[in-house]
C-alpha cells in the first residue's frame, strides 16, 4: 500500500492508504476517465457506491489530480508540437514562474543534463512557434534555446502501470 494525503471533514490532513483495488480503479480511469462507476463496480465485484466513494477519496487526497480528455489537436487547428530546451544563466525560481505563464507551454519540466528546462509547446503554425520561442528568449535569464519540432507522435498519453494485476479493458 502507498500512503496519500486525505483531508478530513474537519479540514485536517490525514494519510490515506492506496490499496490494490484503488490501483485497479485508477487503471480504468486512466484509460477512460468517463468510465461509469457502475461498470468498474461490476468488473471488480464491488458495489457502485463503494467505487464512487473510492474515486472521491482518491480525488480528495489528490492521488487523482483531475479528470481530462485526450484531444485531436490537428482538428482544433493546433498542428505544431515542439519541445523547447532552455539553458538559463541564473534565477531558476524566477524563470520557473515565468515559464509557467506561457499558455502554449502545456508541460514545463526542470531537468538534469545539458538543459535546465524542457517545455512541450502546442501551437497553430511555425509563425506562432517562432513568436513563442522569441518570448522565451527575451527572458533575462534565458541563455539559449534549442527547439525540436515533432514530425509525428508515436505514443502519447500512455497508461502508467499502477497495479501488478493484468487488467482486460
Q: Which residues pair with 3 in a beta bridge?
A: 17
Tens-digit pLDDT profile for residues 83-132: 999 999 876 677 888 899 999 999 999 999 999 999 999 999 999 999 99
b/e map of 97-129 (b: 16 or more CB within 10 Å)?
Answer: ebbeebebbeebeeeeeebbbbbebbbeeeebb
Q: Would you place residue 12 in the very low, low, confident or very high pLDDT band (cuts 50, 70, 90)?
A: low
Tens-digit pLDDT profile for residues 68-85: 888 899 999 999 999 999
Which residue spans of the chain are classified as CATH 1.10.10.10? 2-60
Indicate the burial class of 54 (C-beta count within 10 angstroms; 0-12, 13-18, 19 or more).
buried
Q: Would you place residue 5 in the very low, low, confident or very high pLDDT band (cuts 50, 70, 90)?
A: low
pLDDT of residue 139: 87
SS3 101: coil
Rounded distance between C-alpha atoms, residue 118 and residue 106, angstroms = 11
CATH code that applies to domain 73-149: 3.30.70.920
pLDDT of residue 2: 55
pTM more than 0.75: yes
pLDDT of residue 28: 95
Range 2-60: architecture per CATH: Orthogonal Bundle (1.10)
CA distances from 19 to 46, 114, 163, 167, 168 (A): 14, 39, 9, 16, 19
Q: Which cell numbers hold the place of 2?
A: 502507498
Tens-digit pLDDT profile for residues 32-60: 999 999 999 999 999 999 999 999 999 99
Backbone angles phi, psi at 126, to 5 degrees: -60, -35
Which residue spans of the chain are classified as CATH 3.30.70.920? 73-149
Q: Residues for the chain: how many in total?
A: 169
Amino acid at each position: 500500500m502507498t500512503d496519500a494525503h486525505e483531508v478530513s471533514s474537519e479540514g485536517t490532513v490525514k494519510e490515506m492508504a492506496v490499496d490494490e483495488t484503488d490501483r485497479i480503479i485508477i487503471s480504468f480511469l486512466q484509460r477512460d476517465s468517463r468510465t461509469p462507476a457502475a461498470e468498474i463496480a461490476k468488473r471488480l465485484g464491488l458495489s457502485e457506491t463503494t467505487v464512487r466513494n473510492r474515486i472521491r477519496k482518491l480525488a480528495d487526497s489528490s492521488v487523482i489530480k483531475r479528470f481530462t480528455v485526450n484531444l485531436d489537436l490537428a482538428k482544433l487547428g493546433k498542428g505544431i508540437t515542439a519541445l523547447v530546451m532552455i539553458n538559463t544563466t541564473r534565477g531558476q525560481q524566477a524563470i520557473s514562474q515565468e515559464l509557467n505563464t506561457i499558455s502554449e507551454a502545456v508541460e514545463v519540466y526542470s531537468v538534469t543534463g545539458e538543459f535546465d528546462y524542457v517545455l512541450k509547446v502546442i501551437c497553430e503554425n511555425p509563425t506562432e512557434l517562432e513568436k513563442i520561442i522569441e518570448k522565451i528568449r527575451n527572458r533575462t535569464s534565458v541563455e539559449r534555446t534549442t527547439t525540436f519540432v515533432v514530425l509525428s507522435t508515436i505514443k502519447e498519453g500512455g497508461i502508467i502501470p499502477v497495479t501488478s494485476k493484468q487488467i482486460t479493458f
